[in-house]
């Protein structure tokens, strides 16, 4: 039994279809209590502030967010007894707004983007004497992924080598924290960042306008550690949404837009590093299929995994598709 919902943070790593001769595994962050990867930094940022004596239960937290961090903070605030004000661009999905209210957060919507939301959150924190969580600057954000996302992945690959890690970039917390820890275990691993094609600020230095929720804030956050990133890829929203529908309809995996972009990119990376002559297993849950698979008995006799050699791409699917139903992604 878990003592608190905050102890229930964590997610499975699941094999998804991959090009022949490669394996793609996705961290399904929609399994977290608040439905996204952001539960991790939300918990870490609040607990770090408590340890530093900056906040205590009963205080008010203030944050600007495109949604998921707000929902993560709303879970933590409710579970630990904080008041919470969230500032969010009006354009974010209805589900996100309703979820925040359901957890009891106070919500202020602004016309404009994340920059506008950040400015308003600064003003509000000042006015009400609240603690500004500052996910775009807070080192506890990447630290949460270093400590939890990456540690879980290392355990979940069960001794296999990870050849590439692919993650979308918003605050940069996921890619910086997870890749930094994974590189300690797998120094030769390639790290690939994903951003919206229409707002490719990491690739081009120029911001643009895109309809992704959560990915591509339109500026490069200080938390993005470019030293751990080998390459940046862009994905058009239409391609990401096509991947999202395929994952839902053919795999039973319901995820959001940035997960679709991560999957499109993971597929490209897997194609580049695939070794088609290897007999890599496909997605399968059927014990009969497993028994029939072409297993290398010698490797098994040695106690090894016969698929150890299949190039492995690990990626992160940051949230569940349930919060995109009104956005028309599945229509
Ligand atoms: C749906 C979604 N995808 C991707 C990201 C990017 O994650 P990070 O902020 O850790 O870079 C976020 C961040 O809010 C998000 O909400």
- Closest by CA position to 233, among listed 209, 257, 267: 267
The whole domain housing 315 covers 5-31+139-278+310-327
Same domain assignment for residues 80 and 144: no
Taking CA 230 as the corner, what is the angle to CA 229 and CA 235, rounded to the nearest 5 degrees?
A: 85
Number of H helices, E strands in the chain: 12, 10
Q: Let me know whether 106 and 148 are in one domain.
A: no
Number of structural domains (the chain) is: 2
85: its two tokens: 């004000």
Ligand 1: nearest atom to the Cα of 173: 10
For residue 14, pLDDT beyond 60: yes
Residue 191 domain flag: yes
Q: Are residues 147 and 165 in the same domain?
A: yes
203 and 127 within one domain:
no
| Whether residues 181 and 246 fall in one domain | yes
Cβ atoms of 190 and 165 within 8 Å: the answer is: yes
In short, whether 174's Cβ falls inside 6 Å of ligand 1 is: yes
pLDDT digits (tens, 9 = 90+) for 34-60: 999 999 999 999 999 999 999 999 999
Residues 164 and 44 placed together within one structural domain of the fold: no
Residue 170 has pLDDT above 60, yes or no: yes
Average pLDDT over residues 156-176: 97
118 and 60, same structural domain? Answer: yes
Residues 257-278 pLDDT 10s: 999 999 999 999 999 999 999 9
**What CATH number does residue 270 fall under?**
3.40.50.1100
**What pLDDT score was predicted for residue 66?**
76
Q: How far is CA 279 from CA 21, 22, 251, 274, 294, in A?
A: 6, 9, 21, 11, 8
Considering 97, 132, 167, which residue would you say is the last residue of a domain?
132
| Annotated catalytic residue within 38, 93, 221, 320 | 38
- The DSSP element (H or E) to which 21 belongs, if any, is none
Per-residue pLDDT of 218-231, as tens digits, reads 889 999 999 999 99
Each residue's pLDDT tens digit, 59-87: 999 999 878 999 999 999 999 999 999 99
Buried b (16+ CB within 10 A) or exposed e, 228-264: bbeebbbbebebbbebbeebbeeeebbbbbbbbbbbb
pLDDT digit string, tens, across residues 83-135? 999 999 998 888 889 999 999 999 999 999 888 999 999 999 999 999 999 99
Final residue belonging to a domain, choices 68, 97, 132: 132
Domain boundary among 81, 111, 132: 132
Task: Give the pLDDT score at 285.
Answer: 77
Confirm if 219 and 207 have CB atoms less than 8 A apart.
yes
Question: Do 73 and 187 share a domain, yes or no?
Answer: no
Q: Is the pLDDT of residue 304 over 60?
A: no
Q: Is 258 a catalytic residue?
A: yes
Beta bridge partners of 60: 83
Of residues 36, 258, 259, 320, which has the active-site annotation? 258
What local confidence, expressed as pLDDT, does residue 213 receive? 83
- Ligand 1 pocket, residue 135 CB under 6 Å: no
Residues near 34 by Cβ (< 8 Å), separated by ≥ 6? 42, 68, 71, 72, 74, 75
Q: Residue 309: pLDDT above 90?
A: no
Cα–Cα distance measured from residue 28 to residue 5, given in angstroms and rounded to the nearest whole number: 18
Residues 50 and 18 both lie in one domain: no
């Amino acid at each position: 039994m878990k003592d608190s919902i905050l102890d229930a943070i964590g997610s499975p790593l699941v094999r998804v279809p991959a090009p022949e001769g490669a394996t793609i595994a996705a961290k399904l962050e929609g399994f977290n209590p608040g439905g996204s990867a952001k539960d991790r930094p939300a918990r870490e940022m609040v607990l770090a502030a408590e340890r530093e004596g900056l906040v205590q239960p009963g205080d008010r937290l203030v944050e600007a967010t495109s949604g998921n961090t707000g929902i993560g903070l709303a879970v933590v605030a409710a579970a630990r007894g904080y008041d919470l004000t969230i500032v969010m661009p009006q354009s974010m999905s209805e589900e996100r707004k309703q979820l925040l209210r359901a957890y009891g957060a106070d919500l202020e919507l602004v016309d404009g983007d994340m920059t506008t939301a950040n400015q308003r959150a600064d003003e509000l924190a000042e006015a009400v004497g609240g603690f500004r969580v500052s996910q775009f600057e807070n080192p506890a954000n990447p630290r949460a992924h270093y400590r939890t996302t990456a540690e879980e992945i290392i355990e979940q690959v069960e001794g296999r080598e990870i050849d590439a890690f692919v993650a979308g970039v918003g605050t940069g917390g996921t890619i910086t924290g997870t890749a930094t820890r994974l590189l300690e275990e797998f120094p030769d691993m390639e790290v690939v960042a994903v951003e919206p094609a229409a707002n490719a600020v990491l690739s081009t230095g120029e911001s643009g306008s895109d309809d992704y929720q959560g990915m591509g804030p339109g500026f490069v956050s200080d938390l993005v550690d470019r030293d751990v990133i080998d390459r940046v890829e862009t994905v058009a929203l239409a391609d990401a949404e096509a991947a999202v529908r395929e994952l839902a309809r053919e795999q039973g995996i319901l995820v959001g837009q940035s997960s679709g972009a991560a999957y499109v990119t993971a597929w490209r990376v897997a194609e580049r590093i695939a070794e088609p002559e290897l007999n890599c297993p496909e997605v399968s849950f059927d014990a009969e299929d497993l028994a029939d698979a072409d297993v290398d008995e010698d490797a098994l006799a040695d106690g090894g995994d016969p698929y150890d050699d299949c190039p492995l791409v690990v990626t992160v699917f940051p949230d569940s598709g349930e919060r995109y139903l009104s956005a028309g992604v599945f229509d």
